[in-house]
Amino acid sequence: MITLEPFGPADFSQLMDWVNEERLMKEWSGSMFSFPLTESGLAWYVEGSNDMKDPNVFVYKAVDSKTGITVGHISLGGISLRDRAGRITRVLVGNTTERRRGICQGMVKALLRIGFEDLKLHRISLGVYDFNQAAIKCYLKAGFQQEGVLRDVVKHGDDYWTLIEMGILEDEWRALQKSTEASA
């Protein structure tokens, strides 16, 4: 089982170790950070984060509850309390040997629980590059639906990357929770 804990300065070095290639950094963060990641470059990212009284962004490390080991990173930003909406960003399963073990899905489900239960959001969206088939499968299994495609939205080297927009609504999420409870 995956639990989410606030990501802070003590976690910077591990994230910097994981994001060790410029391409991976761009896949993970878009143009939010410059490569290589630095502690000073990450400091602004967590400033004011994880404040339930004034929610703007929630930044988490994902922890395997059995081992206590940090296995990933995820954030929920773009929060609009007026529209009751947020956006999942910067999803990363840290150690490549840990991939395909359900960690991504565990992180996403834990973050959806925070978004829909704690923050009372109505809609949560995300964007994923079309070549990241493992992530797309993870998001579909978590209940997201594809809503659109932004063609050639990011240039990396000589290539352009296409972004798939996905979203899930609170009623869809609640229905998934009921069906999961009924089958348990």
Domain span holding position 8: 2-183
- Where does the pLDDT of residue 98 fall: very low under 50, low under 70, confident under 90, or very high at 90 and above? low
- Give the CA distances from residue 100 to residues 61, 69, 105, 143, 148, in Å, rounded to whole numbers and listed in that order: 18, 17, 10, 18, 26
pTM: 0.94
Between 100 and 117, the higher pLDDT residue: 117
| pLDDT at position 164 over 90 | yes
Write out the two tokens for 184. Answer: 């348990």
- Where does the pLDDT of residue 96 fall: very low under 50, low under 70, confident under 90, or very high at 90 and above? low
Q: How many domains does the chain contain in total?
A: 1
Q: What is the CATH number of the domain that holds 60?
A: 3.40.630.30
Name the residue type at position 75.
S
CB 55 within 8 A of CB 16: no
pLDDT for position 99: 59
